[in-house]
Amino acid sequence: KLVILGCRAVYGEEMEFAKANEDRVALVTAAELLRGGAEEGLEKIQGWLGEASSTYVSVDMDVVDPAQAPAVGNPSPEGIGITLLIDLIHMCADGRTRGFDLTEVTPHYDSGLTATQAAYVTLETIYALEAASRRQPR
C-alpha cells in the first residue's frame, strides 16, 4: 500500500490512478493538511498504517513550501511547513518503520537553506525512529 501525504502538483493521470486504486493508494493533499493539520491528515490514513506490518518513510522535500525550502526539484506554492512535516514524520515513524530516505534537494539553487532544512528533517526522523524503538518491545 502507498500513502502519499502533502502532494500538490498532481497530474490528472496520477489522480485517476489513485482514485481507481483506492484500496492500494491513500492520498492526502497539502491543502488538506494545511486546513486540518497533521492529526486530521493522519486520521484519514490511520487505518492503513494500522494494517501495515512494516513501513518505509520517504520524504520528498518538494512537499515543503518554497519559502522554507526553495532548492528542490519541483518547487510549487502552498507547500507544508517544516514543523508540519516533522509532526507527520513523528506520527508515521514507529517501531514498524524499516527505512527512511529524503530526496529532491538541489543545494546549488540556494545559499544552504534547503540543505539545512533537509538535514534537520533527517535528524528529527532519526530521533523519531530511536524514540519509537525504545517504546517497542524487541
Question: Other CB atoms closer than 10 Å to residue 115's CB: what's the count?
Answer: 18
pLDDT tens track for 66-102: 999 999 998 989 999 999 999 889 888 888 899 999 9
pTM, to two decimals: 0.85
Q: Domain containing 95: what range?
A: 2-135
Cα 83 to the center of its chain, rounded Å: 12
What's the CATH code of the domain at 77? Answer: 3.40.800.10
- Where are the alpha helices (H) located in the chain, listed in sequence order? 12-20, 30-51, 82-92, 113-135
Total domains, the chain: 1
pLDDT tens track for 19-40: 898 888 888 888 888 888 777 7
